[in-house]
Structures are given as C-alpha cells and as structure tokens.
C-alpha cells in the first residue's frame, strides 16, 4: 500500500512539473537540525553533512551530483558549499566495481549497498586550496536506488543514502558526520567512457 501511495504521489507531482523543475534542489529541513536537509528518498537533489563544527551543504547554484564510470571505477561526487564561508567544495567517492556500469540503469546495482571507507572506497575533497587528506575510516551507504520513469520512459535514477568520514586534512583530524543525500541522476550527469 505504501508503494502504491508513493507511486501515485510521484506521478501527480511529475505531471504538474516540467523537466527543469525535476532538476532543481528542494531543501526540506531536518527535524533535529534545520541546517541539514531531512533524509528523503524522493530525488530532491539535496545533500548535507556536519563538517566538524560547520556544514557541507548543497547549493542552488551548483549541480549537486555527477557520476562517472571509467576503468571499472565509479566516481560519485557531491558538489556544494561549506556553510560558514560559502566556499565551494567537492566530496568525491571512488568505488571499484565488479560489474560494468555503462548505462544509467546499472546504478540500480547500488541499492542497499554499504561501502567501507577506506577499505573499499577512496575519498577526495577538493576546495579552492590544495589539501592533502588521509582517510581513517567511514562508510558510504546507498540505502535506496530506484528508477523513475515518465510515460514508460526511463527519466532518472534516484540515489538516497548516508555517509560518515573520519580523516586527516593537512595532518589535522576532521569529521564529516550525519551525512545524507537524495539525488536524481538523469543521463546528463552520468558519464561512462
């Protein structure tokens, strides 16, 4: 019953939205910490995490996520800003894959997949200044990967999940915690070569 209600809601929502509307970010504040987005599985193109005493958040002026598959590795990159400075930052996870992910629909293989960091995944943080990071531990969890079709045509894959990281940034400990993402991945942000 819950799935039927979800599909009806998505269908009505999509019927009333243009394609451009589906690509925009919808920020629903979390009940416990309004600076973070709530965890959702609706493809709201949103993400956020506590970044020590600050936040790493989605920005309306930057595409929130891009995915690249190349040489048996999947790069899942979140593009946003550090809340207090509004400086851009990219958090990129590189995941070795056993199966090729050459088509958008192959992202469904990520459903309910927990990835240990740094054992099964490498991480890179890019900011305006070069920083050297050493990842100590963490987890990337793709709780849900779902296909969104419109008029029986695949439109995008919605990836939702959580992440936490402990790392050394230029030799100093940094924690990225309570991370969550809910992003719609259309063909234009999925690159396979």
Q: What is the pLDDT of residues 31-88, one digit of tens each?
A: 999 999 999 999 999 999 999 999 999 999 999 999 999 999 999 999 999 999 999 9
Q: Please report, in angstroms and rounded to a whole number, the separation of the first and last CA atoms in the chain.
A: 40
Model confidence at 5, pLDDT cuts 50, 70, 90, reads very low
Q: Judge whether residue 173 has pLDDT over 50.
A: yes
pTM of the predicted structure, to 2 decimals:
0.88
d(CA 176, CA 174): 7
Model confidence at 20, pLDDT cuts 50, 70, 90, reads low
Q: Give whole-number Cα distances, 66 to 15, 84, 139, 184, in Å.
A: 25, 24, 19, 10
pLDDT value of position 67: 98
Q: Judge whether residue 18 has pLDDT over 90.
A: no
Q: Judge whether residue 97 has pLDDT over 70.
A: yes
Phi, psi of 188 (to 5 degrees): -70, -10
CB 167 within 8 A of CB 134: yes
CB 114 within 8 A of CB 139: yes
- For CA atoms 169, 88, 63, 69, the dihedral sign is negative
CB 57 within 8 A of CB 79: no
What are 182's strand-pairing partners? 46, 160
pLDDT value of position 128: 77
- The residue segments making up the domain with residue 175 are 2-192
d(CA 67, CA 75): 6
d(CA 187, CA 107): 11
Q: Which of 17-26, 121-130, 173-182 has the lowest mean pLDDT?
A: 17-26
Give per-residue pLDDT as tens, 99-128.
899 999 999 999 999 999 999 999 999 987
Q: Judge whether residue 10 has pLDDT over 70.
A: no
pLDDT value of position 112: 98
Model confidence at 19, pLDDT cuts 50, 70, 90, reads low
Overall domain count for the chain: 1
pLDDT value of position 132: 78
């Amino acid at each position: 019953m819950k799935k039927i209600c979800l599909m009806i809601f998505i269908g009505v929502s999509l019927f009333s939205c243009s394609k451009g509307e589906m690509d925009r970010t919808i920020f629903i504040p979390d009940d416990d910490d309004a600076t973070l987005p709530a965890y959702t599985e609706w493809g709201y193109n949103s993400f956020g995490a506590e970044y020590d005493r600050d936040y790493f958040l989605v920005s309306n002026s930057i595409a929130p996520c891009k995915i690249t598959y190349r040489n048996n590795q999947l790069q899942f990159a979140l593009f946003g800003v550090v809340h207090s400075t509004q400086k851009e930052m990219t958090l990129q996870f590189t995941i070795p894959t056993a199966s090729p992910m050459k088509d958008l629909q192959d992202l469904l293989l990520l459903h309910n997949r927990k990835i240990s960091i740094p054992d099964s995944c490498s991480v890179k943080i890019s900011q305006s200044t070069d920083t050297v990071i050493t990842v100590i531990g963490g987890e990337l969890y793709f709780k849900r990967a779902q296909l969104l079709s419109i008029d029986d045509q695949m439109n995008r894959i919605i990836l939702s999940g959580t992440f936490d990281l402990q790392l050394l940034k230029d030799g100093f400990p940094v924690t990225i915690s309570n991370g969550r993402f809910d992003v719609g991945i259309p063909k234009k942000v999925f690159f396979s070569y």
